[in-house]
A and B are shown apart, each in its own frame.
Chain A
């Protein structure tokens, strides 16, 4: 009954209150709005499978996918393949991030560093990492080394580009402040340069994570004997669409989780920043 208290008395015309300005925002968010689309898709899929409209050889039913997931977990294949995939992606991500960051700091803080590094990396940026795959296979074979190197190559470029850009766009007034306080170089780096470049670095990380999974998918589908990609490849040969879908869902979850982790880090690390989004 609280609503009636707030409601205007019927029949009286209120003198023209200032109308709210035209709204440019899309309006209030719908509760659980993000879940509506996927849920609808899932319902169509389930209904189609139940009614027999979808041939299980084209697309397995959702419940088949669930039971298959259970089976794969029971015999350990899912965990083993997931572990090896996560290890490849993680290794490539860590190595690529370290390389990208170090190169960005070197190029950002010294003219010689920039002259030597920036050109080659910009050229590398123009060539998709995956186009280098034939060459990498020739050089490093088809083992783990080639896989991790391919992922690393996809990771370090965005980390470098965005961190370097972040470094370059640090306000020169802060550099002047550092000079006026006669900060030692190490303190200058730790207190001014690195925090100043952090927003750029984290943006680079978001691209890097996407690239890492992308490269993983590709390297695991060529000449691999383990990993989620291999599991899916094998399933293709046996026509097991349910296993393929389990793999797809896994890739999707991994991508979402890692992007969420970077965004969380972003929010934590950049809490001093107030932007339009907050």
Chain B
């Protein structure tokens, strides 16, 4: 049973202290520390199996069946976006968006959230009538409709094609600019991390190996020399000596 001493932060900050999580005898996270300021957009990189999802699930409180200890402080209002859109196939799109909402104006807020992700008019569609990218946009709407202070996303664009992924990047930046939640985005795509985040963390052997603040204008492109420098640093840290493209 993962016990989280500590509790809920009000201001949107995330604090993790001496977090231990493991499966069987193997510790995936062993004395892990992390602090994220309110409203920060953090991308978490790491090799496959390095424990990114394990950390994210711990922050989301979805690992009550995992052994571990440590202190986790997260905002009370947090939302999760999964790699798959995870829409209930038997509920229409709008009902999926308002699933976690209570109150009389839930549907109104759901409609507004759908409009924000560009899906106004699709409220009554069934999820499997939507394309993969549209489904993931519904999932974003569902995560943001509750106005979370923390948005946790585990490779939310991993299953999308390259073009759709670029569109989703723009959408996510736009939504972030409007709602200003704290964001922790897990990804294995270095470009995605540098494009989106204000700060990139690299997880290796259960520790943060690189903590890089991205100092780039809001409009980012591969042609900026600084972008390429960040990219190079991260790829090298990931063990890729030679970057292509």
Contacts and interface: CB of A to CB of B under 8 A. Distances in A.
Contact of B89 (A176, A179, A181, A272): A272
A274 to B, nearest CB: 7
Contact of B126 (A182, A195, A198, A272): A272
A176 B79 CA distance: 12
A183 B88 contact: no
Interface string B77-98: 0011010101011110001000
Interface string A252-277: 00000000000000000011111000
Contact of B100 (A173, A174, A182, A270): A182
Interface string A137-151: 000000000000000
Nearest to B95: A191
B80 A180 contact: yes
Contacts of A198: 90
B99 A195 contact: no
A111 to B, nearest CB: 14
Contacts of A181: 79, 99-100
A180 B62 contact: yes
A191 B60 contact: no
B128 A274 contact: yes
A173 B86 contact: yes
Contacts of A250: none
B131 to A, nearest CB: 15
A191 B99 contact: yes
Interface residues of A, number: 19
A177 interface: yes
Interface residues of B, number: 18
Given A173-B84, A272-B126, A272-B128, A180 B90 contact: no
Nearest to B77: A182
B188 to A, nearest CB: 20
Nearest to B100: A181
Nearest to A199: B90
A174 B99 contact: no
Contacts of B82: 173, 177
Interface in A177-227: 177, 179-183, 191-192, 195-196, 198
Q: Which of B62, B80, B84, B88 has the most CB of A within 10 A?
A: B88
Q: Which of A179, A180, A181, A270 has the most CB of B within 10 A?
A: A180
A182 B62 CA distance: 10
A179 B61 CA distance: 8
13 contacts: A174-B88, A177-B86, A177-B99, A179-B61, A180-B62, A180-B80, A191-B88, A191-B91, A195-B88, A198-B90, A270-B90, A272-B126, A273-B90
Given A179-B61, A180-B79, 10 more contacts: A173-B84, A179-B62, A181-B79, A195-B90, A195-B91, A198-B90, A270-B90, A272-B90, A273-B89, A273-B90
Interface of B: 60-62, 79-80, 82, 84, 86, 88-91, 95, 99-100, 126-128
